[in-house]
């Protein structure tokens, strides 16, 4: 069951004490807290603006009600003074029945005036509390607007920086890749990758050979450096000779 189920859009919260207290404790706040996770920042700002306007309307209506209550109290006070004057005249005239009626009416007016004074004081306190709450709401709203403007500026700056980096990468990226491919490091990397691939294939073929012909003995690992060949001279660019070997 909703906590503020008694309050609706048509409720006159400024004329009913319990509803006014319920509204003041934050009838709108749970809805706003829920909307933080459901609406965009722009929609939240619009709703916060509307909430501030509703609060101002509520204060205006409450002020009008306080003024009306004050005028009613003054009117009741004038009636009491009039009845007291009539009471005084009746006492002098000696009409006891009419005097009792006038005294009863005067007492009713006094009781009603006391009740109105208490209600007026309650409404004044309520108005002060609501004015403070609306002040906090306005301050928070201004802070949210400033944060939103700052975030929009940051997003714009990041978007411009990303576009600049994208354009720069598009221009310089191909140059960097071409230069890296032409570098000695890239060539050495290819050579190393080729050697690793060749050694791996050699080891696979060797294990298969041993599996099929376990009696075969491999005298030497072709990838082990031989001290006898360390001083062997060899051209860096040795041409490949696939001709048949000469008979000795």
Evaluate if residue 115 carries a pLDDT over 50.
Answer: yes
Question: Is the model more confident about 184 or about 242?
Answer: 184
What is the reported pLDDT for 240? Answer: 64
What is the reported pLDDT for 219? Answer: 63
pLDDT average, residue stretch 80-87: 70
CA distance 56 to 50: 10
What is the reported pLDDT for 26? Answer: 46
pLDDT average, residue stretch 93-121: 72
CA distance 123 to 117: 10
CA distance 234 to 209: 32
| HEC assignment per residue over 159-190 | HHHHHHHHHHHHHHHHHHHHHHHCCHHHHHHH
Kindly report the average pLDDT of the chain as a whole number.
69
Evaluate if residue 196 carries a pLDDT over 60.
Answer: yes
What is the reported pLDDT for 44? Answer: 62
Question: Is the model more confident about 27 or about 130?
Answer: 130
Evaluate if residue 27 carries a pLDDT over 50.
Answer: no
Evaluate if residue 45 carries a pLDDT over 70.
Answer: no
What is the reported pLDDT for 215? Answer: 81
Q: How far is CA 155 from CA 150, 158, 162, in A?
A: 9, 5, 10
- Evaluate whether 13 touches 58 at the Cβ level (below 8 Å): yes
What is the reported pLDDT for 191? Answer: 77
What is the reported pLDDT for 194? Answer: 78
What is the reported pLDDT for 138? Answer: 76
CA distance 244 to 164: 62
Architecture of domain 17-175: Orthogonal Bundle (1.10)
């Amino acid at each position: 069951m909703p906590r503020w189920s008694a309050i609706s859009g048509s409720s006159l919260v400024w004329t009913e004490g319990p509803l006014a207290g319920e509204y003041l404790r934050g009838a709108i706040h749970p809805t706003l807290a829920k909307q933080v996770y459901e609406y965009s920042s722009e929609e939240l700002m619009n709703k916060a603006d509307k909430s501030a306007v509703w609060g101002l309307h509520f204060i205006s209506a409450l002020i009008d009600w306080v003024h009306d209550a004050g005028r009613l109290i003054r009117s009741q006070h004038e009636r009491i003074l009039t009845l007291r004057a009539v009471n005084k005249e009746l006492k002098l005239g000696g009409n006891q029945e009419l005097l009792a009626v006038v005294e009863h009416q005067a007492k009713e007016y006094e009781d009603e005036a006391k009740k109105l004074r208490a209600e007026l004081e309650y409404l004044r306190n309520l108005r002060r509390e609501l004015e403070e709450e609306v002040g906090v709401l306005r301050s928070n709203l201004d802070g949210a607007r400033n944060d939103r403007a700052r975030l929009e500026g940051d997003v714009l700056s990041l978007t411009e920086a990303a576009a600049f980096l994208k354009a720069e990468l598009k221009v310089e990226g191909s140059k960097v890749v071409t230069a890296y491919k032409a570098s000695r490091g890239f060539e050495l990397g290819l050579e190393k990758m080729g050697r690793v691939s060749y050694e791996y294939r050699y080891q696979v073929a060797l294990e298969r050979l041993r599996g099929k012909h376990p009696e075969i003995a491999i005298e030497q690992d072709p990838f082990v450096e031989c001290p006898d060949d360390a001083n062997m001279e060899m051209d860096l660019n040795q041409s490949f000779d696939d001709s048949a070997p000469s008979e000795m």
